[in-house]
Amino acid sequence: MLSTFFKNYFDETLSGIRHFDQAAGNRVVKRIKNVQRQGGRVIIFGNGGSASIASHAVVDLNKAAGVKALCFTDPSLLTCFANDFGYENAYAKALEQHGTAKDLVVVISSSGQSENMIRVARTALKLSCSLVTFSGFAEDNPLRSLGEENFYCPLLKYNMVENSHQVWLLAIVDAFIASNHQ
């Protein structure tokens, strides 16, 4: 079993990564440029491993790309909002308080089924934010139908979907940086 596990694991993960929509990636780079030009921010949301992906992308957007970006993963803020509004509404309430129509909201959910991520996506639309989603598992997951750009990984294993999302989102950040140096 172990003699083939890693080869099979990496082959399957790479098949997910290769499912990247390059045309949509180019459009998101343009959206980030537009957000930067308008003085908006990129606000990224995710749970668990997806929250780590969000945090990593926010660091790179701020430091390497010079783009104002943030995520709401601070434990005090998140637990305060979850306690007062319910976990399913915590991120949506944070976005209501901080989001504007100048912002690009990115929502990451491996399953595309997380109620709090669906609610933050709907809040982004209500605020007229630009919305990009990253999801996986079922092709018809509810999150995938909400974004202006929707990146979908057709795999069924959390780590493989999350690895694909991580590579895709950071590739978009790197493409943005490269486009500013041409």
- Mean pLDDT throughout 96-115? 98
pLDDT value, residue 89: 98
Domain residues of the chain, as ranges? Answer: 23-175
- Mean pLDDT throughout 64-73? 97
- Mean pLDDT throughout 109-116? 98
163 band by pLDDT with thresholds 50, 70 and 90: very high
pLDDT value, residue 122: 98
Give the C-alpha separation, 150 to 169, whole Å: 12
Q: With 90 as the cut, is the pLDDT of residue 2 above it?
A: no
Environment class of residue 91 by beta-carbon count within 10 Å: exposed (0-12), middle (13-18) or buried (19+)?
buried
Domain 23-175: assigned CATH number: 3.40.50.10490
Q: How confident is the model over 11-61, as pLDDT tens digits?
A: 999 999 999 999 999 999 999 999 999 999 999 999 999 999 999 999 999
- Mean pLDDT throughout 90-113? 98
- Alpha-helix residue ranges (DSSP H) falling in the chain: 2-17, 22-38, 49-63, 75-85, 87-98, 115-126, 158-180
Strand partners of residue 56: none
Environment class of residue 44 by beta-carbon count within 10 Å: exposed (0-12), middle (13-18) or buried (19+)?
buried
Give the C-alpha separation, 110 to 47, whole Å: 9
Q: How confident is the model over 115-140, as pLDDT tens digits?
A: 999 999 999 999 999 999 999 999 99
pLDDT value, residue 106: 99
pLDDT cut 90: percent of the chain above it: 97
pLDDT value, residue 113: 98
pLDDT value, residue 109: 98
3 band by pLDDT with thresholds 50, 70 and 90: confident
